[in-house]
Amino acid sequence: MLDAGDPAPDFDLDGTDGQTVGAYRLSAAAQRAPVLVAFYTADFEPRCRAYLEALRDTDWAALTDAIAVLGVAPGSIDDHRAFAADLELPFPLLADHPGVDAQFGVQRSDGSTRRAAFLVDGRCRVQFAWADPETAETPDIEPVRSAVARQ
């Protein structure tokens, strides 16, 4: 898994905000604001739902002046669109078809994606990395919130 100080692999992925579909490039987003790249396992999986709800319910404006959040998981745009709309997410969900999860080091040996978050700066460098220990029913994203607040 990538760690603080590592270069973040740039990516171009299709994604959806629940209504529209578009292309997203990490480096372009990072030039405008720090980016939280939030990997998750699958749409509609209960622990992933709790993880994305925790990200959705975070008051990012109280922590930092600007941040972009990008959810990344395998799956289809149609499934991502339905999941984003169901959760009323204020950030897009991107379809990881080319294995960006492997480049970030969060692909499991069975090919699934581990829940993890990377805070990426304008130089596309990882400033903070977090992986869900997968022991609790609801992922504790407080370390992620704290890292964003320190930016």
Is a pLDDT exceeding 90 seen at residue 133? no
Query: What are the structure tokens assigned to 103, written together?
Result: 């480049």
Is a pLDDT exceeding 80 seen at residue 77? yes
Query: Please, are residues 35 and 119 in contact by the beta-carbon 8 Å criterion?
Result: yes
Task: Tell me the average pLDDT of the chain.
Answer: 95
Domains of the chain, residue spans: 12-149
Q: Over pLDDT 90: what percentage of the chain?
A: 92
Q: Over pLDDT 70: what percentage of the chain?
A: 99
pLDDT (tens digit per residue) in 90-105: 999 999 987 999 999 9
Cα–Cα distance, 148 to 151 (Å, whole number): 5
**Assigned CATH for 12-149:** 3.40.30.10
